[in-house]
Amino acid sequence: MVTGEMRFTTKELSKRTWPDFERFFSQVHGCACTLYLHGRHLPSVARTATERAERFGVPDRSRSVFPARAFGRAQELSAVKELVWQGRAHGILVYGRGEPVGWCHFGRASALPVVRDDRTPPEMVARHPSSDWRITCFTTRMDYRRRGVATTALAAALEAIRQRGGGWIEATPIAFPHNDPTVRKLRKTYRWRSQEVIDYLEENWPHKEVPGVGSVNACLTTAKSMSHAGTMSMFERFGFQPTKRDEYRSSDRSWDPGDSVVMRLQI
Ligand SMILES: CC(C)(COP(=O)(O)OP(=O)(O)OC[C@H]1O[C@@H](n2cnc3c(N)ncnc32)[C@H](O)[C@@H]1OP(=O)(O)O)[C@@H](O)C(=O)NCCC(=O)NCCS
């Protein structure tokens, strides 16, 4: 894909590209998809600030490396590495100028999360029992955002699924993004659940009609960042159809509205 002057390439996550995955997740936030692979975030070794200080020392806030965070990242990478070596973790790395700048996780619906038990939250499993595949998460390096990196990753994930025989693919993107700095300002001034925030949202929050789904609310984004699940429009471009509002990811809260939609495509 060519976006402006930038051409992106993609590779699948594998033992060979593992160093690129490590490099990518040393440059971005996010859990390296351990949430979707394990069905929950990995347990934290130190939950409170006091526990963290006891175990790792008090963080030096003048520096950008925090020992507790680095420890958590190392734990996440080691958990994903084990699954890559077992052939149980799949995804696409996007490269710009030879550097890994984007990531998209996909996997077989029957194998996500890899460990499933009574405590697995329902939002961690496929919404439609007949879905064969899931595309769960995107991450793009901050300096490469809004240039088509996630869209490039999505195209490559679809191709990777096609090469494995295809089937029904499911995703749960946000209905549509909306960047409204006033909401953030009001939340800061009056608090999240204040009447001022609720009144403003009631008057101003955009919604739209999605055929077969009904009315859906926008999700708040910033100019640079939005939900890791992508947007409906990204998936529509490749032929995905909306099937229903995603009850697990949508919010009816008057102080924090926002809908996600379950989308499917058969390839
Ligand atoms: C979601 C994310 C991956 C999008 O990546 P990207 O490379 O910027 O996406 P693209 O440039 O391919 O854009 C895809 C679509 O989203 C839209 N979009 C992307 N960022 C947007 C933003 N901040 N506001 C509004 N729309 C946005 C684009 O306009 C495009 O829409 P279109 O399909 O209608 O043309 C990126 O914002 C991100 O990394 N967010 C953080 C996700 C995260 O926390 N991941 C870790 C989870 S543990």
pLDDT tens readout for residues 105-159: 999 999 999 988 888 999 999 999 999 999 999 999 999 999 999 999 999 999 9
Q: Which residue, 216, 52, 37, is CA-closest to 136?
A: 37
The structural domains of the chain, with segments of one domain joined by +, span 2-171, 177-266
Provide the H-helix boundaries in the chain: 18-25, 34-38, 49-56, 67-85, 149-163, 181-190, 195-204, 232-236
Tokens, residue 51: 């526990």
What is the structure's pLDDT at 1? 44
Ligand 1 contacts (CB < 6 A) are 30-31, 102, 137-140, 145-151, 177, 179, 221-226, 228, 230-231, 233-234, 237
Residue nearest to atom 18 of ligand 1 (CA): 146
Instruction: Output the residue whose Cα is nearest ligand 1's atom 25.
Output: 177
* Integer Cα distance of 226 and 234 in angstroms: 13
**50-102 tens-digit pLDDT:** 887 887 777 777 776 677 888 888 999 999 999 999 999 999 999 999 999 99
Tokens of 72: 């958590």
The two beta strands, 219-220 and 177-178, are parallel
The whole model's pTM is what? 0.94
Average pLDDT, the chain: 93
Alpha-carbon distance of 210 to 235, in angstroms, equals 14
Report how far ligand 1's centroid is from the alpha carbon of 150 (Å): 6
Name the CATH superfamily for 2-171.
Gcn5-related N-acetyltransferase (GNAT) (3.40.630.30)
| Separation CA 139–CA 228 (nearest Å) | 6
Residue nearest atom 42 in ligand 1 by C-alpha distance: 228
d(CA 215, CA 211): 9
**Is the N-terminal amide bond of 122 cis, ω within 30° of 0?**
no
CA of 46 to the centre of ligand 1 (A): 32
